[in-house]
Amino acid sequence: MLSPIGANAIFCCNYLDEFLSHIGRINKQMYGVFISRVLISECDKVNVIKELLNVKFNCSTVSVLDMADTVFSIETLCTE
């Protein structure tokens, strides 16, 4: 764990939700599928944050949210 290789292996396994003993199974195809799945959901989250920031700084409006709800939503999304 203290060597860069060990730390990278642990990080990779944690990131891909895989056991360290199964690290040999990780390949480019598996990683690509995982990244595309994660990035899509992350992009959606970023788009929502962007829209909420527009509301917060009065560039657009949402009638169902007040300012406290908007700020709370932004903080929640940014800390997930």
Question: Where are the chain's structural domains?
Answer: 4-79
| Pairwise CA distance, residues 29 & 50, whole Å | 31
Contact 49, 77 (CB under 8 A): yes
pLDDT at 3: 55
Residue 49: CB atoms within 10 Å: 14
Residue type, 8: N
pLDDT in tens, 26-69: 777 766 667 666 666 777 888 888 999 999 998 888 777 789 88
| Pairwise CA distance, residues 79 & 52, whole Å | 15
Residues counted in the chain: 80
pLDDT in tens, 54-66: 999 988 887 777 8
Residue 11: which H helix or E strand, with range? Answer: helix 4-15
pTM of the predicted protein model? 0.51
- Rg (C-alpha) for the chain, rounded Å, is 19
